Structure 1
């Protein structure tokens, strides 16, 4: 199957993208939430196969200092095929020129990102809207 890459979200079926995040599984992200977050991101990259979204990701960036890669998702039937690595390479390429490119991984996926040059930060910290959920999901330690 041929993969078509795009950086445009024009014509994207946001419900389809929402379902992709659900089945990946990367959580429940509503179509409206995704429309807002992708719309406010400097870079976005989507992979389409026969017109269907099979991978997507975005980067919130300021154009000079920091580009934060987030919401990187690959359809379960395409995981392990190299599609995620290609998506990551494309987002890193779009982010070139920034002093730092940051992401945080779903717990257990750190090794995948390490293969692409990412290293664990020793000072990264976060405030989550639902800290108990973030602890339960393995994103932060108990306070």
Structure 2
């Protein structure tokens, strides 16, 4: 895992698209990673093959997000190592949170993550969140 200093943000944007974890522009990713307390990037030579970050406050809550592994590199333990690294960096926080792509929950359970009964979210596109399986219904209108 290396620093974000060597990241080609356009390449990382393409990685999220092909993973597939949605469309995230290079500028969006640069800002998101810059504003995250912890970040991990894995390279094969100079090519970004895995990445993830955690938004954290240093004491109470660390939220793991945007964890991605290139499809050609999946199944090699990179995702596991990335999550372990982010959990390690988040040590000392009272809680470590994430929300998984629907269907990937069993992977995260192997690290000790458990379903929450009261987790809630406001999505900028509630219909899309429902279509993608993140919420039970689309709700009324976007609140953000």
Alignment TM class, shorter chain as reference: over 0.9
Deviations 1:78-107 (A, max 9, x none): 111111000000000000000000000000
Q: Which ranges of structure 2 fall in alignment gaps of 5 or more residues?
A: 140-144
Distance between the aligned counterparts of 1:11 and 1:87, measured in 2?
Answer: 17
Q: Which whole-Å deviations, capped at 9, do the CAs of 1:38-90 have from their partners, x for residues lacking one?
A: 00000000000111110000000000000000000000011111110000000
- How many residue pairs get aligned? The number is 138
Where do 4+ consecutive residues of structure 1 move more than 3 Å? none
Residue 13 of structure 2: SS of its match in structure 1? Answer: helix
Who is 1:25 aligned against?
20
TM-score by length of 1: 0.95
The residue aligned with 2:32 is: 37
Q: Which residue of 2 aligns with 1:121?
A: 116
1:92 aligned residue (87, 107, 112): 87
Structure 2 length normalisation: TM-score? 0.94
Quote how far apart the aligned CAs of 1:11 are: 2.9
Between the aligned partners of 1:10 and 1:22, the Cα distance in structure 2 is 21
Unpaired stretches in structure 1, ≥5 consecutive residues: none
What corresponds to 1:75 in structure 2? 70
Q: Please report the RMSD computed on the Cα atoms of aligned residues, expressed in angstroms.
A: 0.7
**Aligned partner of residue 71 in structure 1, secondary structure:** strand
2:135 to 120, 132, 140: 140
